[in-house]
Amino acid sequence: MTRSTPRALRGVAITAAAALVLAACGNGADDGDAPDGGEDESTTDNEGDEPTTDDGHDDALGEGGEITVWAWDPTLESVASDFMELHENVTVDIVNVGTGDDQYTALQNAISAGSGGPDIAQVEFYALPQFVLGEALADLSQYGASDLDGTFTPGPWGAVTQDEGVYALPTDSGPMALFYNARIFDEHGLDVPETWEEYREVGRELQDADPNAHITNDTGDAGFTTSLIWQAGGHPFQVDGTDITVDLADEGSQVFSEFWETMVDEELVAPVSSWSDEWYQGLSDGSIATLVIGAWMRGNLESSVGEASGDWAVAPMPQWEAGASATAENGGSSLAIMEASQQQELAYAFLDYATVGDGVQTRIDEGAFPATVEHLEDEDFTTVEFDYFGGQRVNEVLADSAANVVEGWQYLPYQVYANSIFNDHVGQAYVSGTTIAEGLESWEQALVTYGNDQGFTVSAE
């Protein structure tokens, strides 16, 4: 497939907290040795499954070599160790150059320099488009990745594919659910909400019962906002190559903004920033009673809010329409091979092992939430009873959510930048007289202007 890249996109400098360079040029960095071949351990491990390796991958494994992976996911250390035990002539170096934006900065610097980068990079779903359009990632279709259609749930698969190309393989996903403090709900006689209208009413009841408690927290979060718009059926970002339409007043966006405005206006939402010490304290003592968030929060609560063990439970994501089951993704990552890697075959063998082979179970055992349909439907996964959640089979709820993610969502090819300026616009609704709808309109205008300045053809609907 031929992809055209506007010249202005090459070497673009973007500010995201610090100077975040997100140029879109296709000269990725490289690291490592030559290709390889050998054992067929990077296949799926279930009877009846077709192996995803081919003769080229076997040759790469047999020849051996060294590949470098830039990733912050700690579970990949164990995956790499197991892979190297299977293939003693292969070395996999896992390097943490930073989380999220910090890694993207380092990655783009290496791309721009033409050297010094990895063979494989962990990239979150929302950040993939900028590197795909910039031709920095290898199209994995040439290694058989297209045959994996149906292996992953729709949300993650849609995130890593574009046109006929496959530019990464999902490592985890973030289907959304309602995490709620069952102790607080029981204490105040609150019903678990099934719709967003019920959610708001529960928030009011909680405030009446305890003015110091809130149904949730929010000070403006781009990921949360876009996920709820996604669930509501919104498509605010329409991308066709370098032609983009931004419409943050479409039906889904309006459904979200009108509803969440009442939550903010009625002060049902605690003015506490997520990931702050105050936030963790609120999750611990119950003053923040729920989170509508990605599946990965299960492990975060277990590891970071241990004192609330037994208090929390998980329910399906509240619905915009009674009886519906629509969900959205909130987070999720992938592994991509850099176009400039000199040993893409060997790199793909590792990707295959990590994302559809035995490495998936290794990561699940260490707390990751998978993106593979096979594992999400496995009773060994769905019937696990979590002591932290009072013995609840939490994965049943989360797996159902993964199967019901609304399809068709798109991110901007400069979504990292878009998210970085979110609070300059929509965030003002939490601290001033600006409404959320007005904030979304301001954000839209900024995204249109920025995109056009970078060489895209961007219009507002």
* Domains of the chain as residue ranges with CATH: 7-173+331-385 (3.40.190.10), 176-329+388-460 (3.40.190.10)
Q: Which residues pair with 170 in a beta bridge?
A: 334
Q: 313 or 56: whose pLDDT is higher?
A: 313
Measured distance CA(389)–CA(124) in Å, rounded:
28
Residues 330 and 22 sit within 8 Å (Cβ to Cβ): no
| Biggest CA-to-CA distance, the chain | 68
What local confidence, expressed as pLDDT, does residue 52 receive? Answer: 43
CB 227 within 8 A of CB 195: no
Report the pLDDT value the prediction gives residue 281, as an integer from 0 to 100: 98
Q: Which residues pair with 95 in a beta bridge?
A: 70
pLDDT of 18 higher than 60: no
Lowest-confidence segment of 4-13, 121-130, 131-140, 340-349 by average pLDDT:
4-13
Q: 347-378: b or e for each residue (b if 16 or more CB lie within 10 Å)? A: bbbbbbbbbbbbbbbbbbeeebbbbbbbbbeb
SS (H, E, C) the chain: CCCCCCHHHCCCEEEECEEEECCCCCCCCCCCCCCCCCCCCCCCCCCCCCCCCCHHHHHHHHHCEEEEEECCCCHHHHHHHHHHHHCCCEEEEEECCCCCHHHHHHHHHHHHHCCCCCCEEEEEHHHHHHHHHCCCECCHHHHCHHHHCCCECHHHHHHHEECCEECCEECCCCEEEEEEEHHHHHHCCCCCCCEHHHHHHHHHHHHHHCCCCECEECCCCHHHHHHHHHHCCCCCEEEECCEEEECCCCHHHHHHHHHHHHHHHCCCEECCCCCCHHHHHHHHHCCECEEEEECCHHHHHHHHCHHHCCCEEEEECCECCCCCCCECECCCEEEEEECCCCCHHHHHHHHHHHHCCHHHHHHHHCCCCCCEHHHHCCHHHHCCCEHHHCCECHHHHHHHHHHCECCCCCCCCCHHHHHHCHHHHHHHHHCCCCCHHHHHHHHHHHHHHHHHHCCCEEEEC
Query: pLDDT band for position 51 (50/70/90)?
Result: very low
Contact 83, 354 (CB under 8 A): yes
Q: Beta partners for 244?
A: 239, 458
Cα–Cα dist 66/175, whole Å: 34
Q: Which range (35-49, 128-142, 187-201, 256-270) has the least confidence? A: 35-49
For 405-428, the pLDDT digits (tens) are 999 999 999 999 999 999 999 999
Q: How confident is the model at residue 70 (pLDDT cuts 50, 70, 90)?
A: very high
Which of 390, 365, 363 minimizes the C-alpha distance to 380? 365
pLDDT at 8 over 50: no
Residue (of 72, 124, 76) closest to 97 by Cα position: 72
Amino acid, res. 32 = G
Question: Residue 56: what pLDDT?
Answer: 66
Distance between CA atoms of 344 and 138, rounded to whole angstroms?
8
Q: Which residues contact 227 (CB under 8 A, 6 or more apart)?
A: 176, 328, 329, 330
* pLDDT over 90 (residue 6): no
Q: What is the mean pLDDT of the chain?
A: 89
Residue whose entry in the numeric block shows the structure tokens 């300045």:
453
Q: State residue 57's pLDDT score.
A: 81
Q: What is the pLDDT of residues 171-208, one digit of tens each?
A: 999 999 999 999 999 999 999 999 999 999 999 999 99
**Regarding beta strands 243-246 and 457-460, do their DSSP bridges make them parallel or antiparallel, or are they unpaired?**
parallel
What are the structure tokens assigned to 4, written together? 């055209």
Quick: pLDDT tens for 387-411: 999 999 999 999 999 999 999 999 9
Phi, psi of 185, deg, nearest 5 = -60, -45
pLDDT value, residue 9: 41
Q: CA 73, CA 368: separation in Å to the nearest integer?
A: 9
d(CA 405, CA 230) in angstroms, rounded, equals 9
Q: List the 65-70 sheet strands across, edge first.
A: 90-95, 65-70, 120-124, 333-337, 169-170
Q: What is the pLDDT of residue 461?
A: 85
Q: Tokens at residue 133, please? A: 């359009």
Question: How many angstroms separate the CA atoms of 13 and 106, rounded?
Answer: 13
Query: Of all residues in the chain, what percent carry a pLDDT higher than 70?
Result: 88
Instruction: Name the one residue in this structure whose structure tokens are 């009442």.
Output: 262
- Tell which wins on pLDDT, 389 or 101: 389
Q: Band of the pLDDT at 32, cuts 50, 70, 90?
A: very low
Band the pLDDT of 49: cuts 50, 70, 90: very low
pLDDT in tens, 332-378: 999 999 999 999 999 999 999 999 999 999 999 999 999 999 999 99
Mean per-residue pLDDT, 224-247: 97
Please tell me the predicted confidence (pLDDT) of residue 207: 97
pLDDT at 43 over 70: no
Q: What is the mean pLDDT of residues 251-270?
A: 98
Mean pLDDT of 163-167: 94
